[in-house]
Amino acid sequence: MWLDGYQQQFGNRLEDFLTETVPRVLTELTSSQKKQVTNGAQEFPFEPLLEILNSKHSYEDTVSRIIAVTGIWMNAASGSQWCVGPLNSTDYSERVGIGVRWGEIAFSPLSNMSENLVDSFPTWPGVLMEFSRMQEADRDYYKQRILETRPKQK
């Protein structure tokens, strides 16, 4: 509910991302990488992100590729869904971006996290390992929370 206003206002950007960027990124992955990303059953797809970070794509393309791989994996692994939501704000402005949500439980701003990863990676390559650990922790925590909040079956 609380993210619905963002969807109404910025949903076209998410739709463009899902119809253009996500399919393009999936075609760039090897078959084993694609299986790992879309299945979500294995560990976080560290290697595809490392390849993206070491590529010669523009900053914006690198960020959007990381968002795509991370979001596809997270959705498959935890039951989250693509969403548009707040990244940061001040008294006079608000920045909105793409992420994933777990119902009304939480929103993970993948745009911010991907930008931080791209910004930090050249000086601290270990940030990718931290990023992957955070994604796996989110997967495990929110997957469990979703199970706990579902109505009990009789």
- 19 is a domain residue: yes
Tell me how many domains the chain contains: 1
- 58 is a domain residue: yes
Both tokens assigned to 91: 């008294």
**Are the beta carbons of 135 and 75 closer than 8 angstroms?**
no
Q: How many CB atoms lie within 10 A of CB 7?
A: 16
Q: How many CB atoms lie within 10 A of CB 118?
A: 19
Residue whose pair of structure tokens reads 């739709």 in the numeric block? 15
Per-residue pLDDT of the chain (154 residues; tens, 9 = 90+): 667 777 888 878 899 999 999 999 999 999 999 999 999 878 999 999 999 999 999 999 999 999 999 999 999 999 899 998 888 878 887 888 888 988 888 888 899 999 999 999 999 989 999 999 999 999 998 888 888 887 776 6
Model pTM above 0.95: no
From CA 94, how far away is CA 131, in angstroms rounded?
Answer: 24
Q: How does strand 81-89 pair with strand 106-108?
A: unpaired
Residue whose pair of structure tokens reads 């076209």 in the numeric block? 12
Contacts of 152 (CB under 8 A, 6+ apart): none
From CA 24, how far away is CA 22, in angstroms rounded?
Answer: 5
Task: Print the domain residue range for 137.
Answer: 4-25+46-88+95-146
Residue whose pair of structure tokens reads 């694609």 in the numeric block? 34
Both tokens assigned to 6: 């963002």
- 41 is a domain residue: no
- 39 is a domain residue: no
